[in-house]
Amino acid sequence: MDKLQIVLILAFFLTYCNTQIRYCAPELCPSGVHIACQNQNRLFSPDCKAPRHLVNITRFKNLIVYNHNLYRHRVASGSMKRFRPAERMTTMLWDDELAYLAALNSITCKMEHDECRNTWRFKYSGQNLARRYSKPNIYTPRDIIVASIDGWFNEYKITTMADIRNYQSSSRMIGHFTVMMNDKNNRVGCALTKHSPHGGAEYYFACNYASTNVINKPVYKEGRAASKCTTGTNHLFSGLCRSYEPIDVNRWF
């Protein structure tokens, strides 16, 4: 049994083995096949070249959540002149189920979004992907994680308030940033796979979110920063509502 199977079975499968049939339920995915239904044996794709493994990123969970919330706060608080503040943007927390499904994407070793990654709690789950290759390997897992999140955030440079107010399909690459800024996104879970094509090292980093962008809907509602938070504000990030702000991630405005 290779490292992938050990990690997935011990860290994730024991938690979600009872929901496998439910992942394959057609009502969970109105179009397309669920990622967990496509890979029921939790095996690496042939595109992942040995040696390969699913990186243990447990020690980076707090970093991932912190960096997401830091960037959300910068936008929501109004400290970035490009964007109006958000009236009710939630604090993100880590979610193991989202991380499990992100792992199933990362072990495909392809920069391709899943046809479906929804869960019964998160019926419109969003996703960000990143890839980095080097020969020889000069990156650590932490390098990949930080650079990926930074890269997604840096799409703010080509995003406008018009995009925030009424999200539209665009040829501009703004989807990563806008998913990060979705005001309902209170959960995130990520995974990192490393494999060895062409004598080098290539990393695939995937993050799944509670919610996603929806055409003709706002990414967040603008207003005085955190003015509509019903639970108060995060003690570290005053532009964000507290982590237990009651948000229905499956309901749109």
Counting Cβ atoms within 10 Å, is residue 132 exposed (0-12), middle (13-18) or buried (19+)? middle
The answer to whether 132 touches 204, Cβ cutoff 8 Å, is no
Whether residue 235 lies inside any domain: the answer is no
pTM of the model: 0.92
pLDDT tens per residue, range 101-134: 999 999 999 999 999 999 999 999 999 999 999 9
Domains held by the chain: number: 1
Q: Residue 9 has what pLDDT?
A: 44
> Residues near 87 by Cβ (< 8 Å), separated by ≥ 6?
220, 221, 222, 223, 224, 225, 226, 227, 228
Whether residue 225 lies inside any domain: the answer is no
d(CA 238, CA 79): 11
* Torsional sign, CA 46, 52, 54, 60: negative
Q: Residue 21 has what pLDDT?
A: 52
Whether residue 11 lies inside any domain: the answer is yes
Task: List the single range of 19-28, 54-63, 211-220, 242-251 with lowest mean pLDDT.
Answer: 19-28
Q: Residue 6 has what pLDDT?
A: 46
Whether residue 215 lies inside any domain: the answer is no
Whether residue 141 lies inside any domain: the answer is yes
Average model confidence (pLDDT) for the chain?
92
Domain boundaries, position 99: 3-209
Whether residue 228 lies inside any domain: the answer is no
Instruction: Quote the tokens at residue 21.
Output: 């049939």
Instruction: Quote the tokens at residue 231.
Output: 């639970």
